[in-house]
């Protein structure tokens, strides 16, 4: 469990009395608190986002307020303290166990050799009920580009990748433009491991440059046999429209795109309408809102 303080969250929210008219499964929600931190030029610690749900009661309330029927939860993170997101892994396991088949989880792991022991502890939880993914982000250091890894970093990644492949679960990778999370590094990672391992690109490549680069490769990745998945959270409107309209016309990758609201960093309503408002068939919308998530993350839940 997290060692940081916690105040009850979501108390001010009122559950929906009328839904959005859709079955909705979100494959990207954060749980747990995040301590204040002096981000960027701030002279005092700040909390840019509200805490994620900490208990089953809070998670159920969170889902009810948004009309989310099933969700995949991920440790909250964002400050440069390596142990912080690991501290929520046991919370993820507990929430999955108490989720009545409606909650799947992703465990936080790290490709940094300095986090080898913490990652080993996380991987010990991989067979717990409800664990359907691993979560990695290079925002806290390192790079997705395997051409830049030294030998210890390569071995650390191979350990994580092998664990995911043995259980046949996806790795969720945060993507954002520039730095270690740029999509250009992920293309090389996909080339080396993507035919044997499920790779979930969170945020659809990340930013304008990431979207354009990923969309230009999308058809080739799918037809080339690479197990690439994505969610549309944080994705910019033009990219979502272009991808969904192309998928609606060709069907290529229709089973690889999923809805994620990424709360508390994003907001459910805007993420929902980004899909709901797209000029595509209802069949594709159904796939994105729940069908693909059911197949990839929830079918095997006990």
Closest CA to 73 of 16, 111, 29: 29
Binned at pLDDT 50, 70 and 90, residue 11 comes out as: low
Q: What is the mean pLDDT of the chain?
A: 94
18 band by pLDDT with thresholds 50, 70 and 90: low
What pLDDT score was predicted for residue 301? 80
Q: How large is the average pLDDT for residues 146-172?
A: 99
What is the edge-to-edge ordering of all strands in the sheet holding 25-31? Answer: 25-31, 70-75, 103-108, 131-136, 170-174, 199-202, 228-231, 257-258
Element at 218 (helix H, strand E): helix 207-223
Quick check: 2 pLDDT over 90?
no
> Left, alpha or beta for 142 (phi > 0: left; psi -120 to 50: alpha)?
left
Cα–Cα distance list, 57 to 2, 30, 100, 101, 185 (Å): 17, 15, 12, 15, 39
Predicted TM-score (pTM) of the model is: 0.94
Fold of 26-37+53-298: TIM Barrel (3.20.20)
Q: Provide mean pLDDT across the span 46-64.
A: 95
> What is the distance, to the nearest Å, from the Cα of residue 192 to the centroid of all Cα atoms in its chain?
21
Q: Measured in whole angstroms, how far is the alpha carbon of residue 208 from the centre of its chain?
A: 19
Confidence of residue 4 (pLDDT cuts 50, 70, 90): very low
Average pLDDT over residues 289-294: 98
Instruction: Lowest mean pLDDT of 3-17, 92-106, 191-205, name the range.
Output: 3-17
**pLDDT confidence of residue 9:** 53
Name residue 133's beta-bridge partners: 106, 170
């Amino acid at each position: 469990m997290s060692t940081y303080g916690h105040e009850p969250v979501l108390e001010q929210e009122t559950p929906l009395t009328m839904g959005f008219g859709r079955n909705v499964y979100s494959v990207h929600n954060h749980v747990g608190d995040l301590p204040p931190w002096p981000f960027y030029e701030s002279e005092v610690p700040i909390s840019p986002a509200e805490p994620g749900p900490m208990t089953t009661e809070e998670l159920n309330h969170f889902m009810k307020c948004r009309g989310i029927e099933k969700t995949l939860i991920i440790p909250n993170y964002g400050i440069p303290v390596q142990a912080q997101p690991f501290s929520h892994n046991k919370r993820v396991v507990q929430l999955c166990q108490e989720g009545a088949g409606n909650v799947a989880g992703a465990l936080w792991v790290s490709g940094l050799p300095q986090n080898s022991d913490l990652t080993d502890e996380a991987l010990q939880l991989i067979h717990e009920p409800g664990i359907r993914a691993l979560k990695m982000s290079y925002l806290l250091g390192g790079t997705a580009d395997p051409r830049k890894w030294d030998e210890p970093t390569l071995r650390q990644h191979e350990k994580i990748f092998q664990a995911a492949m043995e259980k046949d679960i996806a790795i969720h990778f945060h993507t954002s433009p520039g730095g270690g999370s740029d999509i250009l590094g992920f293309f090389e990672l996909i080339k080396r491991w993507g035919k044997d391992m499920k790779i979930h690109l969170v945020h659809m490549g990340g930013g304008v440059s990431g979207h354009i680069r990923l969309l230009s490769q999308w058809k080739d990745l799918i037809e080339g046999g690479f197990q690439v998945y994505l969610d549309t959270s944080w994705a910019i409107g033009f990219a979502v429209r272009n991808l969904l309209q192309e998928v609606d016309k060709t069907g290529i990758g229709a089973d690889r795109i999923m809805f994620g609201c990424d709360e508390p960093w994003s907001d459910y309503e805007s993420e929902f309408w980004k899909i709901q408002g797209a000029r595509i068939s209802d069949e594709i919308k159904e796939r994105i809102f729940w069908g693909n998530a059911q197949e990839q993350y929830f079918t095997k839940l006990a």
